[in-house]
Amino acid sequence: MPYPFRTDKIATYGDWDTWTQRGVTYRMFIAGFVAKTLGIAVPSDSNLRSAMTSAYVSHGRWVADCPEECGGALVVTPSDPFFFCTNCGSGWHRVVFPSRAKRRQIENVLMKRPLIGGQPKKRNWFTYESVATLKAQNKVAGII
């Protein structure tokens, strides 16, 4: 089954998480799993790792890479800006997002990009790109 990309918005993990409908969020699941299996409590100032990671948009989803460079990445959300790498188990890390206003600008430009094969493959933004750069990319691609 293909990954359930959202095509109507730039998504965060809560946008398609069926657990949310049952009152259990992904964060609660990960926090419970981590606490139970690894003995690491929910993120707090006392157990956050110093390494932070930055959120970016990949295929229409806000994601963050593991700051320990293990290759792990997860879909993230600005309403809960923490990351626990389920790949290497490195601990809780803070996720840095652009401001709300900049996120809206980024998302508005990306949402103008067409779907490819029904998926948002061209809806990408990296932290080194400005909103002006995204608009210029759209213009070159003939997207107004």
Residue entry with tokens 């003939």: 142
Residue with tokens 């965060």: 12
Condensed to tens digits (0 to 9), the pLDDT of residues 18-49 reads 544 444 455 666 666 766 776 666 666 666 67
- Which of 107, 121, 108, 109 has its CA nearest to residue 62? 107
Q: Rounded CA gap, 15 and 82, in Å?
A: 17
pLDDT of residue 20: 45
What are residue 96's DSSP bridge partners?
54
Average pLDDT over residues 3-19: 68
Confidence of residue 7 (pLDDT cuts 50, 70, 90): confident
